[in-house]
Amino acid sequence: MTIQVGDRLPASTLAKMTADGPEQVDADSYFQGRRVILFSVPGAFTPTCSARHLPGFIDKAADLRAKGIDEIACTAVNDVFVMKAWAETSGVGDRITMLADGNGTFARAIGLELDGSKFGMGLRGQRYAMVVNDGVVEALHVEEPGEFRVSSAEHLLDTL
């Protein structure tokens, strides 16, 4: 079943790269007590993700924080090393936290997985953006296949 507005995020583990190497991130703890935008891309280094989705959040990070967002996080069904390389080549800096969902367990747990097998990509996460307030989904914007509108940073700015 797909997660809905008002639902609490399920218990899950993601990963992020730190100066000391990969670190496991407990979703319950990560989202607790703050308002976070979590956006998902089908894959690091893929065309729309690299040319529009991630850059939009990099460019609008300060504007989103000015509207009461404490953290912006990007997730993809990629390993933590790929997410680190993508962050470095994209100039993410400290504006966005890159959360790897290497096995797609988070995507499956929230019902937003995508079968990219016909493109040679296997299981991925759908393109979406959500606002999570203290672990509860406050807003959810899931793209139709092949679209990029409602999960953009610009759209979230308009809806906050």
Domain coordinates in residue numbering, the chain? 41-159
Residue 145's pLDDT is what? Answer: 86
pLDDT digits (tens, 9 = 90+) for 67-125: 999 999 999 999 999 999 999 999 999 999 999 999 999 999 999 998 877 887 778 89
CATH architecture of 41-159: 3-Layer(aba) Sandwich (3.40)
74 included as an active-site residue: no
Residue 121's pLDDT is what? Answer: 77
Distance from C-alpha of 56 to C-alpha of 5, rounded to nearest angstrom: 23
pLDDT digits (tens, 9 = 90+) for 31-40: 999 999 999 9
Catalytic residue among 15, 17, 44, 49: 49
Distance from C-alpha of 57 to C-alpha of 12, rounded to nearest angstrom: 24
Residue 119's pLDDT is what? Answer: 80
- Give the predicted TM-score (pTM) of the model: 0.94
